[in-house]
Structure 1
C-alpha cells in the first residue's frame, strides 16, 4: 500500500543529532512532500538588497527538515531516496559574503558583499533564469542537504557533508535521480533542505541559486548493499541529456596546477574569473557569482605528483546574445 506524508517548513533542525525525536514515522516505500526553507533560513526575500547581508545570521544557515523515522531501517541498511518532484519558489538569491566571513573559495580576494536576486518565474517554462541580458542560466533544481543521522552521539553542524550525506551540494541528484545513503542508526532519521535552482560543481562563491522549494521524494529501505559506505547516486537520463545540451557550444576552462588540491582549485577559478573580466566585460563580483552557479571544478589530473590539475570550466551555452556572442 502506498503512503504519502507532508512535512511543513516548521519542522526543521540546525544540527544532526541521533537523539532528536522524529517528527513522523513512515513505512519503507513511503512518498513524502516537504515545504522547505532555503539554505539561508529565508532571511533573504525577493526584495532584499546587498544591504541585507549585514544582518544575515550564519547560525541559522542550512536548516534540515525532519527527521523522519523509516520503519525497518537498521544500521547496515541503505536508504534509497528517489527524487520525484522539485519545484523552486518564484525567486532565488546568490551572495558574496564579506571576505572576513571566510565563506567561498576566494573569500580573501572579495572583501565587499554582493547579493543577487534571481527571477525564477518569468522564464520557468523555458527552463532558464536571466543572469543579465545576454546570459541565461539553465534551471536545474536539486537539494543541497540530504542526509540521515550519524552514528556518533551529540550535535553535528548541518553545514559540512558527511559519509551519511548532509550538505553534499551535488547538482547531479535532481528529478529522476536516486541517492543511496548508508544507515547508521535505527530508523535512519532522514532530513533534507537547502533547495538550489542551479549550481556549478564546487559552489565556488559559497552560494548557489538558493531558493525555498517544494519537494516530493520516495524513501525505501534496501538490505544487502554493503558497498554503500558513503553517498552513492544514479543520475536520470534527462539530467545527462541536459548536461550535453548545456555544453553543446563547448566550454571555456582555466587550469590550476599546484601541489595542494585546494590551491589548484583557487588558481583555476581565478583564471576563469580573469577571462570573464577581460573577454566578457563582467565585473569580478559578477564573474565570481556566475562561476558559482554555472562553472564546474573538475580534477583533471591526480597521479603525476607532486602536482594536481584542476579545471574550472564554463559552458559557453550560457552566452545567448550581445555583447557576449
Structure 2
C-alpha cells in the first residue's frame, strides 16, 4: 500500500499528506519523552555513556522552541550535484530540535533507468538529459566551461539540501540523529514493491590495477532490495561490462568518468546468472553526509574532510548520531550518496548505490556550552551508535587546509592508509584522554587491547581509517 512514497499511486498526494499528518502524534510523543530532554537515550545510561552529557543536553534543550517537521524532496530544484558549498541558498531553514525528512537519490540511477528513474518525477527531473536540455547542468566542482559541462564531473554525489540551522556559527557542534532510513521504491509499475541499486566495479576501485589477466574492465551489478522492509537482504539481478557511452551532448565515455551517464541497455551484454544463491545483508546508510566547509566556495564531494562529506561508513544509518564541527554560519547540512549496503573499504569503488529517504533531527550545541565536555575540541566528524563510538581518521584531516591552493587536485595523489591510520590513532588518543580522562599511557594500552581500527574506504581521494571503541568498556568508570 502506498504510504505517500509511491509516485505511481493515483492518490499519491492524498497519501503523502496523510503520512505527514500521521507523523504529528508520533513526533509529539517523541518530543514529550526524555530522549530530547536529555540529549538522547544513550545519555540516560549509567556512566554518562554518550558524547552529550546531561549538563550539555540541558543547556542545548533550553534553546529548543516549538519544533517542526519538514519534508525535503529530491528533485532538480532541491539538489546540488557533486559539491558542497558555503554559497548555496538553503532549501529549508530550521530551529535546533526540528526534524527533517530528506529524500536522496543515487547518482548511479541511470545505470538502470528503467528500474531507478522511470515514473519517478523527482528522479526524472534530476536525470533529464537530452540534446536540448540537461535537468541539472552543474555536476561537480570544476569550471563552468569544462568540455563535459559545468562542473566537469569533479565530484559525483547528488546531495539534497542544504538545510540551515538558525543560530549555528563556526565553533559550534551540530548533532544529527538519524531516526529512520527507508528505501525509495521503484516508481515503474513493472517493479512495484522493489527497490534497486547499482554496484560499479570501476576504474577508481582498489582492485582495478590488480586484476587477473591483462584486460582491465568495469563491471556493474544491479541489485534488488525489498522496498516493503519484509526482507533484510539484497540479491543480484544481473551484471554487465561498461559498454562505453556517448552522452546526449556527443561526448564519448569509454569509462565511467562522469556522473549520471545514461546507459543504453540495447548495447550491453547482461548476465542474469550472477551471485546465485547469495543474500547480501542490507544496512542502509548515507555515504555522503555533512556540512559545508569554509576553505573554498565550491568543494568536490568525493574526498571527505573535517566537516564530514563522503565518509562512506556503513555505520551512518538508522539509530546512529553524527557530530560535526560547524565551519560556516547556518552549518549548511546536505546528504546524499545513499547505499543499501557496503563493506568496510568499499573496495571496488562503490557500494550498492540505492536511493533512500531519511528522517533526521538536528540539535545545535553552542561553543560556549562545550567547555569540559567530550565535544569541547571536536574538529572532525564523529559517529555514535547505541554500543560504540566511531572516530573517522583521514589521510589528511583537513586536506583543504593541509594541502594548500591545489588541495582539491593534490589529495588524489597523496592519500595513504599509513596517514589515515596515524590520524585515527591520534584522534582516538585525544578522545580517550580528554573525554575519558585517561593518561597517554593508559590510552595507548587500551587502544591496543580493546579498540578496533578498520579501513573505512580506499577510493574517495582522502582515504579513511575508523577507530571503534565499545561504550561498555567504560560502564564502571566514574563520569
TM-score interval, smaller chain: 0.5 to 0.7
Distance 1:298 1:15 in 2: 27
Name the SS for the 1:20 alignment partner: coil
Distance 2:417 2:383 in 1: 24
Correspondence 1:1-325 to 2 at 5 A: 1-10=66-75, 11-13=78-80, 14-40=82-108, 42-45=109-112, 47=114, 59=153, 61-89=156-184, 90-97=195-202, 99=203, 103-110=204-211, 111-121=216-226, 124-131=229-236, 132-223=275-366, 224=370, 225-237=375-387, 261=417, 298=454
- TM-superposed CA distance for 1:47, in Å, is 4.8
Distance 2:376 2:453 in 1: 30
Equivalent residues of 1:82, 1:217 under 8 A apart = yes
TM-score (norm 2): 0.46
Aligned to 1:286: none
Task: Give the strand-richer structure, 1 or 2.
Answer: 1
* Larger Rg over CA atoms: 2
Give structure 2 stretches of 5+ with no counterpart.
1-65, 116-147, 185-194, 237-274, 391-415, 422-451, 456-464, 466-479
Q: 1:110-158 CA distances to partner (integer Å, 9 max, x unpaired)?
A: 4112111111028941311124333211110000011101011321101
Task: Give the helix-richer structure, 1 or 2.
Answer: 2
RMSD over aligned Cα atoms:
2.9
- TM-superposed CA distance for 1:216, in Å, is 0.7
Equivalent residues of 2:168, 2:331 under 8 A apart = yes
How has the CA–CA distance of structure 1 residues 79 and 122 changed in structure 2, closer, same or farther, with 3 Å as cutoff?
closer
Equivalent residues of 2:226, 2:232 under 8 A apart = no
Equivalent residues of 2:86, 2:293 under 8 A apart = yes
Name the SS for the 2:111 alignment partner: coil
Give structure 1 stretches of 5+ with no counterpart.
49-56, 241-259, 266-295, 300-309, 311-325
- TM-superposed CA distance for 1:46, in Å, is 6.2
Aligned residue pair count: 237
- TM-superposed CA distance for 1:45, in Å, is 2.5
How has the CA–CA distance of structure 1 residues 27 and 123 changed in structure 2, closer, same or farther, with 3 Å as cutoff?
closer
Distance 2:335 2:70 in 1: 14
TM-score (norm 1): 0.67
